[in-house]
Amino acid sequence: MEISGKVALVTGSSRGIGREIACGLAKKGLRVAVHYHRDREAAESTLASLEGGPHAAFAADVADAGSARGLVESVVGEMGGLDVLVNNAAIFESHPVPEVDYEGWQDAWSRTIATNLIGPANLSFLATHIMMERGGGRVVNVSSRGAFRGEPETPAYGASKAGLNAMSQSLAQALAPYGIFFYIVAPGFVKTDMASSLLSGPGGRYSFAEPSRARRHPGGGRTDGGVPCLGGP
């Protein structure tokens, strides 16, 4: 797929890994739809850092089905199409079994699955229908090592990312005949706002030094997880 001038929607791109992905895609010549939930100022900062363009920022709650639909419709309406979707937005909430009550447990699971799995599923459905009309496209889902090793303090997060992987495999098979290809990237810990509290704890240093993570990291230590490399053929 020739990517110059194509439109990429990157969810959660006002900061962290999402911002680095947006910058990398813009550098490759794509026009980027910067998604944010509430922090418009951070989204504007990301926009200002992007090469090329024109780019634009869009607010939406990806956990809400109607908001997800409005996001895709707004991107297509303002930017003229949608060729690449990067499902990066996610939440990471601590809910260790010995420390939370049943209501807290349910709340954490509901919010996490809605944001990290159902949101990407809805956006993938909406985006790929646009891509089918345009002759193909790319969907990149940002997973996590927690999908493979478990997350004892945040089990809903690990489950949501494992589900994201399974969904990606299923949709890859279903949509390949339409020229739509799915990718999964599972970076290790990256120093972002979301991971800062965990990495500042006693296990944080070990997480960065872990040899197996370094060997498997597809981005070779890049803070964008190598996602911009997947935008082309």
Report the CATH number that the domain containing residue 141 is assigned in CATH. 3.40.50.720
pLDDT band at 206 (very low <50, low <70, confident <90, very high): very low
**1/100 Cα distance (integer angstroms):** 48
pLDDT band at 151 (very low <50, low <70, confident <90, very high): very high
pLDDT band at 71 (very low <50, low <70, confident <90, very high): very high
pLDDT band at 225 (very low <50, low <70, confident <90, very high): low
- For range 37-49, the mean pLDDT: 97
Phi, psi (deg, nearest 5) at residue 31: -95, 130
**133/180 Cα distance (integer angstroms):** 11
**118/199 Cα distance (integer angstroms):** 27
Phi, psi (deg, nearest 5) at residue 180: -110, 125
Which residues form the domain of 16? 7-230
On the question of a cis peptide bond just before residue 98, with omega within 30 degrees of 0, the verdict is no
pLDDT band at 190 (very low <50, low <70, confident <90, very high): low
Q: What residues does 62 pair with on adjacent strands? A: none
- For range 111-123, the mean pLDDT: 98
Within a domain: residue 2?
no
pLDDT band at 2 (very low <50, low <70, confident <90, very high): confident
Kindly give the pairing relationship between strand 137-142 and strand 7-10.
unpaired
**19/25 Cα distance (integer angstroms):** 10
> 82-105, pLDDT tens digit by residue?
999 999 999 999 999 999 999 999
Q: Is the pLDDT of residue 52 over 80?
A: yes
Token pair, residue 96, equals 């260790």
Within a domain: residue 1?
no
Q: Worst-scoring range by mean pLDDT, 34-38, 150-154, 159-163, 229-233?
A: 229-233
- For range 49-57, the mean pLDDT: 97
- For range 98-125, the mean pLDDT: 98
Sequence-ordered list of residues with C-beta below 8 angstroms from that of 63, at least 6 positions apart, any chain: 111, 114, 115, 118, 119
User: What is the number of alpha carbons within 13 Å of residue 73 lying toward its C-beta?
Assistant: 6
Within a domain: residue 203?
yes
Distance of alpha carbon 34 from its chain centroid, rounded? 12
**Which one has a higher pLDDT value, 114 or 230?**
114
Q: Is the pLDDT of residue 37 over 70?
A: yes
Q: Which residue in 1, 5, 7 sits closest to 35, CA to CA?
A: 7
Within a domain: residue 104?
yes
Report yes or no: 224 and 23 within 8 Å, Cβ to Cβ. yes
Q: Is the pLDDT of residue 158 over 70?
A: yes
Q: Worst-scoring range by mean pLDDT, 12-26, 118-132, 159-173, 197-211?
A: 197-211
Phi, psi (deg, nearest 5) at residue 19: -65, -40
Number of domains, the chain: 1
Q: Is the pLDDT of residue 36 over 60?
A: yes
Q: Which residue in 91, 81, 67, 1 sits closest to 33, CA to CA?
A: 81
The residue annotated as part of the active site, out of 36, 157, 178, 183, is 157
For the question of residue 36 being annotated catalytic, the response is no
**85/65 Cα distance (integer angstroms):** 16
Q: What's residue 212's pLDDT?
A: 35
Q: Is the pLDDT of residue 59 over 50?
A: yes
Phi, psi (deg, nearest 5) at residue 122: -65, -45
Report yes or no: 123 and 85 within 8 Å, Cβ to Cβ. yes
